[in-house]
Amino acid sequence: MHNSENHTDSVPDDSLLAAIDLGSNSFHIVVARLSQGELSTVDIMSEKVQLGAGIGPDKKLSCEAMERGLSCLSRFSQLLSDLPHDAVKIVATNALREAANRYTFTEQAEKILGIPIEIIAGREEARLIYLGVSHTLANTTGARLVIDIGGGSTECIIGEHFEPLEMESLHMGCVSYTRRFFSDGRINEKNFKHAEHAAMRELLSIRERYKKAGWATSVGSSGTIKAIKNACIASGFSEERITRKGLEQLKKQILTFDTLSELDIDGVKAERAAILPAGLAILIALFQSLKIEEMTFSDGALREGLLYDMAGRLRHEDIRERSISALMKRYHVDEAHAQRVEHTALAALAQVNKAWGLTSPSHQEMLSWATRTHEIGLTIAHSQYHKHSAYLLQHSDLAGFTKSEQQLLAFLVRGNRRKFPKGDYKQLPERRKDAYKRLCVLLRLSVILHRSRNASALPAFTLKADGKKLNLNFAKGVLIEHPLTQADLEQEIDYLKNADIKLSIS
């Protein structure tokens, strides 16, 4: 196994790389550009081929299943036409591991693509999944459990940073379990229980070993867990994380339908609905067997792992820092000015963090990132640039950030000037509202104090907070010498009244 901290120059900077994952349920392709140590997605396609569903009792792929797969790959091939062979990696997983006539399919597929196809073992699939997930999550301390429920197999990995410590590929998947336990097309408690119990029996081989190894956080990846997460959120069973209670509530909702064909769940695409019950049964069994209480989701998976494997295991830093740095470069941010705003905002935070309950490391991180990106919208237009900045932060693909973090960051940047954004504030999670209103105020003050954009030292100030009251104090005569700052701060007093913050200047 490669050392996860090694950095190689095997791939030149600004190269295009492509990875194709021939899964049991779906085929995926992702094309990305390697630039300054970061992989940024250029194109992505996914098609539900259900190759695994085409394996008959004789363990052979049906002609229809092979035709579906080859037809999909002919469309994928157009994205590969200008790429050198060593910039493309294609792997196949459980369906082709099991199919007796796998080489009949791969020979035809290789003629279409012009690239060799690698049928990878379950543990190699697990390693690559973990690599893909770990590169798209923030760097955290402690071990993490990563689970990926595919069409024909489920990968379970425990690792730290980029190093997988335990890897296993289990013979259970949403397509194979649909055929095995929901073959009559009926949805009922009996079919669900049979699927859950079979998954729990499969998990006996790893249960004690994994629980003994332990982990701090659990993460799900790929389509099945994403669909379950979306269904739980859309139905109000959870906010962002998948919980054991949410899974049981989703199961009850699914049991209100009689057949797979009529299953209609908010947040779940029609083409995935029929395999959702089997996937849910597997995930419930995982939660019960491994005593998982909650799980986050990562967009990284096998194909992202393939890309990073090709790129030579990029040296790790907090991937969110990489995302912010790349964003600043992309939108030509005045880095010197952003650094001054950041320094002042963090100095202000240090003075009020205890009084305002802003002591979490995430508060400092988010304020820091907001100061560095608050002007990215200037590339679009100066007028309303704070709104453009917020839109870019909320809707860009920012590796390492959850959708919730992007919403919070966008709120801070949206509120850095002019009227306080009450509408955006109302949409924040209730438990985050007070903290992020206060962080927004600190960002606003820092932006005001640096409006002149010059590099001269800022006059010293003290900041005292007490609930809804905030006092900003300067040495005698400072504001007289800075009339623009004084005018902006007087205007800010009125703006902050609308945010229920009483600012006083002395």
pLDDT, position 394: 92
Q: What is the average pLDDT across 354-383?
A: 96
Q: What is the average pLDDT across 349-358?
A: 98
Residue 313's pLDDT band, with cuts at 50, 70 and 90, is very low
Judged against a pLDDT cut of 60, whether residue 83 lies above it is answered with yes
| Domain containing residue 80: CATH number | 3.30.420.40
| Domain containing residue 346: CATH number | 1.10.3210.10
In a domain, residue 130? The reply is: no
In a domain, residue 166? The reply is: yes
Looking at per-residue pLDDT, the higher value among 309 and 228 belongs to 228
In a domain, residue 450? The reply is: yes
Q: pLDDT (tens digit, 9 = 90+) per residue, 449-467?
A: 999 998 888 889 999 999 9
Which H or E element spans position 157?
Answer: strand 154-160
Helices (H), 335-432: 335-352, 361-373, 385-395, 403-414, 422-426
pLDDT, position 7: 36
The token pair that represents 360 in the structure block: 């979490």
In a domain, residue 268? The reply is: yes
Q: pLDDT (tens digit, 9 = 90+) per residue, 28-41?
A: 999 999 877 678 89
Q: Are residues 265 and 371 in the same domain?
A: no
Which H or E element spans position 274?
Answer: none
Distance CA 227, CA 371 (A): 34
What are the two backbone dihedrals, phi and then psi, of residue 168, each rounded to the nearest 5 degrees? -150, 140
pTM of the model: 0.68
Q: What is the average pLDDT across 350-357?
A: 98
Q: Return the bridge partners of 55, or none.
A: 61
| Domain containing residue 173: CATH number | 3.30.420.150
Last residue of a domain, one of 284, 310, 336: 310
Q: What is the average pLDDT across 371-383?
A: 96
Residue 323's pLDDT band, with cuts at 50, 70 and 90, is confident
Residue 118's pLDDT band, with cuts at 50, 70 and 90, is confident
Residue span of the structural domain in which 210 resides: 137-298
pLDDT, position 5: 35
Distance CA 324, CA 483 (A): 34
Judge residue 13's burial from the number of C-beta atoms within 10 Å of its C-beta, 0-12 exposed, 13-18 middle, 19 or more buried: exposed
Residue 13's pLDDT band, with cuts at 50, 70 and 90, is low
In a domain, residue 288? The reply is: yes
In a domain, residue 38? The reply is: yes
pLDDT, position 246: 96
In a domain, residue 128? The reply is: no
Q: Are residues 254 and 362 in the same domain?
A: no
Q: Are residues 92 and 144 in the same domain?
A: no
Q: Are residues 150 and 191 in the same domain?
A: yes
Q: Are residues 265 and 411 in the same domain?
A: no
Judged against a pLDDT cut of 70, whether residue 388 lies above it is answered with yes
pLDDT, position 402: 67
Long-range CB contacts for residues 483-487, cutoff 8 Å, separation at least 24? 484/451, 484/452, 485/448, 485/449, 485/451, 485/452
Residue 319's pLDDT band, with cuts at 50, 70 and 90, is low
Q: Are residues 235 and 374 in the same domain?
A: no
Nearest to 445 by CA among 504, 362, 377, 365: 504
Residue 73's pLDDT band, with cuts at 50, 70 and 90, is very high
Judged against a pLDDT cut of 80, whether residue 4 lies above it is answered with no
Judged against a pLDDT cut of 80, whether residue 10 lies above it is answered with no
Cβ neighbours of 242 (radius 10 Å):
26
Percent of the chain topping pLDDT 90: 76
Q: Are residues 283 and 333 in the same domain?
A: no
Last residue of a domain, one of 272, 290, 310: 310
Judged against a pLDDT cut of 60, whether residue 6 lies above it is answered with no
**Please, what is the average pLDDT of the chain?**
91
Judged against a pLDDT cut of 90, whether residue 335 lies above it is answered with yes
Residue 3's pLDDT band, with cuts at 50, 70 and 90, is very low
Distance CA 5, CA 385 (A): 39
Q: Are residues 47 and 190 in the same domain?
A: no
Q: What is the average pLDDT across 184-201?
A: 97
Q: Return the bridge partners of 358, or none.
A: none
Last residue of a domain, one of 275, 310, 345: 310
Residue 308's pLDDT band, with cuts at 50, 70 and 90, is confident
Q: Are residues 340 and 285 in the same domain?
A: no
Give just the sign of the alpha carbon dihedral 203, 208, 210, 215.
positive
The structural domain count of the chain equals 3
Q: pLDDT (tens digit, 9 = 90+) per residue, 207-237?
A: 999 999 999 999 999 999 999 999 999 999 9
Q: Are residues 353 and 216 in the same domain?
A: no
Residue 2's pLDDT band, with cuts at 50, 70 and 90, is very low
- 305 in the Ramachandran plot: left (φ > 0), alpha (ψ -120 to 50) or beta? alpha
In a domain, residue 465? The reply is: yes
Q: Return the bridge partners of 61, or none.
A: 55
What are the two backbone dihedrals, phi and then psi, of residue 295, each rounded to the nearest 5 degrees? -145, 135
Q: Are residues 91 and 222 in the same domain?
A: no
Q: What is the average pLDDT across 160-170?
A: 91
pLDDT, position 165: 92
Q: Are residues 273 and 214 in the same domain?
A: yes
